Amino acid sequence: MRRLLRSSAFIRAAKGVLKKHPGEAESVRSTLVLSLDAFHSRLRTHKLRGELEGSWACSAGYDLRIVFRFVQYEGAEAILLETIGTHDEIY
């Protein structure tokens, strides 16, 4: 199990997403299975290229994506949540 770390940008973006789409809260919460298995088939995790190279994205609902990266934290691998938004907002 990896520890989930939230960047300030992720927290800000999540507040905005949940304000606009309050019905998506459960989808976002269920995506946090990411800490157990970042490559669970339901998440459709994929590596990003271009400006976001080095980061990964996973699905958090029909049109929501979470962008994250694998980092070291206190001597163990962790997941840093970078941002969340719709497909168009992220890419």
pTM: 0.90
pLDDT in tens, 2-11: 999 999 999 9
* Contacts with 59 (C-beta within 8 Å, 6 or more apart), sequence order: 31, 42, 43, 44, 65
Query: What is the pLDDT, as a whole number, of residue 75?
Result: 94
- The CATH number that applies at residue 67 is 3.30.2310.20
Residues 6+ apart with CB under 8 A from 80: 5, 7, 68, 69, 70, 71
For 54, the domain range is 3-90
Three-state SS at 60? coil
Q: How far apart are CA 67 and CA 45, in angstroms?
A: 10
Number of structural domains (the chain) is: 1
CB atoms within 10 A of CB 60: 22
DSSP 3-state of 75: coil
List pLDDT tens digits, range 60-85: 888 899 999 999 999 999 999 999 99
